[in-house]
Structure 1
């Protein structure tokens, strides 16, 4: 569906300015690629690749490097959406059945050096030996959650400040991974 809508935008692009084309992409095409993205964000790369190719086509259609430099990668948007859903679940803003699925925060005594980076909201994921289960929403998002720094978590529930902090952290990590010469930076995919 997103590809079809992008095709329509491509055929009508001469009637719109680059800014209008970008707005149409963000409002009419991208939502189709992000619907329930937290559930399928852990899909294999070959299944997520077509979505990334639609976004690359959109960048070519907008045809303005200044405007398109601010388009966030879909993988970043999926990770932020997943973490925001887990934040709501963690704080109990969901049904009782969903809240019971989230593991409780584990208290770790910081007696070892490797425990120094652990924040108070660290969750213990369920162990699994299959990659398929590890790519599901909860295990995958809990791994991301545990990598977040403590500064990301606000004192009181505030989705806006949590989302800004997560976005800032993940963008910084992404820039570090994209920088030439940086090796050994942990990536989930």
Structure 2
């Protein structure tokens, strides 16, 4: 369920809540089967897993130039002509396509382009050299409120 961000990203929230209910039920079953003295770590929310997987797809497309993801390659934003606070990160941001409908806003490219641009503004994750490092630090960044 969490490994298909291209598929699940544009679903309505009501469908995603059904998936969250399935995960909650699985967590209850796991806790029931666990030994009383065994402390179980909480499972990550499915939305966090989808967000990490989606941003990893964007990272593979932009930084690793994965040939099987070439159709997802998007243009970089144009640099500012003058100096601003965000001018330094502007070179690593993507152009977010205009969308009028909620379904289009939730679809893969607009959603994860906005997340990528926010990540570039707040962190230096986009400059990491390995996917594993990117993914592990990204998990911590997404957990932040």
CA contact (8 A) 1:42 1:137 kept: yes
Q: With CA pairs under 8 Å and 6+ residues apart, which has the higher RCO, 1 or 2?
A: 2
Q: How far does residue 87 in structure 1 lie from its aligned partner after superposition?
A: 0.7
Decide which of 134, 137, 140 is 1:168's aligned counterpart. Answer: 140
TM-score by length of 2: 0.80
Residue deviations 1:107-160 (CA, integer Å, cap 9, x gap): 2356344x268454111111122222111111110011111133212353x111
Partner of 2:83: 111
1:66 paired to 2:39: yes
What residue in structure 1 maps to residue 92 of structure 2? 121
Q: Which runs of 5+ in 1 are unaligned?
A: 1-32, 177-189
The equivalent of 2:24 in structure 1 is 56
8 Å contact from structure 2 (residues 77, 94) kept in 1: yes
Q: 1:131 aligns with which of 80, 102, 105?
A: 102
* Aligned partner of 1:154 among 127, 130, 143: 127
Q: Distance in 1 between matches of 2:82 and 2:118?
A: 16
The alignment's C-alpha RMSD in Å is: 2.5
Q: What is the deviation of 1:78? A: 0.2
- Residues 38-80 of structure 1, C-alpha deviation per residue, up to 9 Å, x if partnerless? 33223221011111011111111111583142x1000000000
SS at match of 1:80: helix
Distance change >3 Å, CA 109–CA 118, structure 1 → 2: farther
User: Matched residues in 1 for 2:135 and 2:69: separation?
Assistant: 23
Structure number with larger C-alpha Rg? 1
Q: Which runs of 5+ in 2 are unaligned?
A: none
The alpha-carbon deviation at position 94 of structure 1 amounts to: 2.3
Query: Comparing 34-43 with 135-144, which one deviates more in the overlay?
Result: 34-43
Equivalent pairs counted in the alignment come to: 137
